[in-house]
A = this chain, B = another copy of it.
Amino acid sequence: MESLFTPIMKRFEGYAIGKMLKYLDDPEIISFAGGLPSADVFPLDLIRRAAEKSLGENWRESLQYSPIPGEKALIEAVIAYLRRDGIRIGPENIVITTSGQHGLDLVGRLFLNPRDFVVADLPTFGGALAAFEMEDARYAAADLEPDGSNIEAMEAGIKDLLKKGTPPKFIYVVPDFQNPSGITMSLEKRKALLALGRRYRLPIVEDSPYRDLRYSGERIPSLFSLDENQGGVIGLYTFSKMFCPGLRVGFNIGPADVIQKFHFIKSANILNTPKLNQDICAAFLREADLDAHFQAARRYYSEKLKFFLGAMNDHFPDSLGVKWTRPEGGLFLWITTPESIDTHELFFRAIEEKVAFVPGEVFYPKDACRRNAMRINFSYPTQDQIVRGVARLAAVIKNYPAAARG
């Protein structure tokens, strides 16, 4: 039936990481490729209790259709949770999503006509690229700097598009511990980005999956809170990293007119999010000792990070010409190799040596692809796997044939 597919879908191949993961079935492979939080920090007892309760007395409601915007109890719990982070909003500013990916899809569908432009960082989150590719998006994108987006380059890109009569639709950023780079945007740049958005009347889409996972440095206010309800920011959140990914629950926040449209799109696209799953997330926000939970998660992940960085120091002498970021939180760091190395090709050599990463190309729009970088997840492997995996990775890079280096 291919001839009947839309032109966009004829070439669409989905989220590129999916294609990589199929090579990782071999249990001997040490994978730095996934984005998996560790199950060791999931509050299992709370989850079991909440599931039992949801299927207890009120099982009739839990097993029926439920309101499209989301469960009232969860929406109220989210409002209270966000107040801890300086965000004050009402129920008209929230839609419960079926995860962060769903939140991205809602954004793409609301704003993007085919060939519309998005302002973004290079590299940027591959899942966002995939969601926006379904709308055939193009990008005005600028290389990330160590303190976040290159605001001046973004402005130059916007001006250029305006001159060409093709104004962009929004600015997409992951300000905290960005996926894939691990880079965090400074307070100064956040303020400059907000001013940029206001100057050009461009909404800022702030993707915040990792905000509670800061291991060092000082917490920086979110763009949403800095905007002080001026309506300039749409916030994307998920329970996947702060709680657990398996329930597939997240939420988008923003101006009421945007959220109402998200409700409409959701009504026609998945109808509602399962109440059972929402009940468990509401129990997490209401009943868990959130400070203790996040502290435990931070301790757990920051040890992994420290360990990973130590192993990198041990196995990657300066002479290899390899650089890497040292994130203050999140689940990922970013390794840049000499330009002569193509990490797409390196990936297949690496899995032969039983170690895996995500090639950097996954995090670039197709026309702006960079070949000599890779994303590393440090949160899932054990300490032992980290040591052995980093050693394997160093060997694979060392042995990358000079011939192939062009």
Q: Is the CB of B39 within 8 A of A64?
A: yes
- Cβ of A159 < 8 Å from any Cβ of B? no
- Cβ of A247 < 8 Å from any Cβ of B? yes
Inter-chain CA distance A275–B18, complex, in Å, is 17
Q: Is the CB of B15 within 8 A of A270?
A: no
Closest-CB distance, A264 to chain B (whole angstroms):
3
- Picked from B52, B64, B112, the residue with its CB within 8 Å of the CB of A246 is B64
Q: Which residues of B contact A39 (CB under 8 A)?
A: 59-60, 63-64
Closest-CB distance, A368 to chain B (whole angstroms):
19
Segment of A41-49, A308-316, A341-349 engaged in the interface with chain B: A41-49
Q: Is the CB of B258 within 8 A of A1?
A: yes
Q: How many residues of A contact B (CB 8 A)?
A: 75
- A residues contacting B by CB (< 8 A) are 1-2, 4-7, 9, 12-15, 18, 34-36, 39, 42, 44, 47-48, 51-52, 55, 59-60, 62-66, 68, 98-99, 101-102, 105, 109-113, 127, 130-131, 133-134, 169-170, 203, 231, 240, 244-248, 255, 257-258, 261, 263-277
Closest-CB distance, A52 to chain B (whole angstroms):
7
| Interchain Cβ contacts under 8 Å between A and B, 29 examples | A2-B257, A4-B111, A5-B111, A6-B111, A9-B109, A14-B266, A14-B268, A15-B268, A18-B68, A39-B63, A39-B64, A44-B55, A47-B63, A48-B52, A98-B270, A99-B270, A99-B271, A101-B269, A101-B271, A102-B270, A102-B271, A105-B270, A130-B268, A134-B265, A246-B274, A247-B276, A248-B272, A248-B274, A276-B277
Inter-chain CA distance A274–B52, complex, in Å, is 17
Closest-CB distance, A155 to chain B (whole angstroms):
18
Q: Is the CB of B13 within 8 A of A246?
A: no
Q: Which residues of B contact A272 (CB under 8 A)?
A: 248
